[in-house]
Amino acid sequence: MRGVFLDTNTVGPDDLDLQPLTSTLDHWSLLEQADPGELAALVSNAEVVVTNKVALDRDILLAADTLRLVCVAATGTNNIDLSSAAECGISVCNVRAYATTSVVEHVFSMMLAFNRQHQKYQSSVAKGDWARAASFCLLDHPVRELAGQTLGIIGFGELGKAVARMGEVFGMKILVAQRPGTKGPPPAGRVALQQLLAESDIVSLHCPLVEATFDLIDRHEFKQMRSSALLINTARGGIVNEAALASALLCGEIAGAAIDVLSEEPPRPGNPLLDTAIPNLVITPHIAWAGVTARQALVNELAGNIKAWLDGSPRNIVAGPCP
């Protein structure tokens, strides 16, 4: 049986052990990045395809006569036409809970960096402000503890729950938003999005990018947030309207943002968040998930998904049939 990994460069294979994956099938083609012009042929010549970010649309899937299993090297599956896969009898599975620790650590590193004013104090030291100080320390930028702050979480799956648990360890009050797109009063333990935005000191996004969450945080939502609030997005770029975020930071509607994902990755010139004049904005290149342990766990889970499928006991199936 033949397998092809369409974009190994997205998992950084140089410091990983790929043997658990490559041992699952007789033949593997491991491509750093599939050539778009060759994608249809690559997919149609394999029984198993692994992809992280390479999109498989309806035309590709309909032409893939031998393809039986698509393994997404991520949790989100928005790059796969799931309905077409099911129509073609192709099973699609994803990987879950492999990067929880890495993402949680990233989220809290951003919270702490902003609240402890790391960037501003580092800049002050570099400018010689500490060397010229009359006292033993600088107190130019207010430092805040996380304890007692309200952490609002939008998206309460594996990652949202893990962030909430860590927030409680820090002594934070936790608010969880009603599932985006649902109507009626919030269920027990949840609050309306408007209430969460108005009451939270920090808002952390952990929901998938679907129709109900596209531009979920837009100009109207920024106006509801506290001027002292911090927004953290480690979910998907399209959940936050980037032009609205740039405007909110420039006019001081919110105090800061830590953004690990953009609507288009890599970003292209003209993305409003690339404006270096925007204050209190940290952009990281989609690395919240990328700890070495997390990436190895991803490879191991991909292998586990394929083995389970071959054994007739498929797991993590999000579309299509079981064998």
Token pair for 210:
């679907």
Catalytic residue chosen out of the listed positions 236, 253, 295, 301: 236
DSSP one-letter string for 230-244: EEEE-S-GGGB-HHH
Catalytic residue list contains 220: no
Element (H, E) at 247: helix 242-250
Hey, which residues does 191 pair with through a beta bridge?
177
Catalytic residue list contains 265: yes
Catalytic residue list contains 219: no
Catalytic residue chosen out of the listed positions 58, 168, 265, 268: 265
The percent helix, strand, coil of the chain (3-state, each to 5) is: 35, 15, 45
Measure the CA–CA gap between 83 and 64, rounded to whole angstroms: 15
Name the DSSP letter for residue 191: B
Instruction: Give the burial class of 47: count Cβ atoms within 10 A of its Cβ; 0-12 exposed, 13-18 middle, 19 or more buried.
Output: middle
Catalytic residue chosen out of the listed positions 221, 286, 295, 301: 286
Q: Identify the CA nearest to 111 among candidates 258, 304, 284.
A: 258
Residues with a catalytic annotation lie at: 236, 265, 286
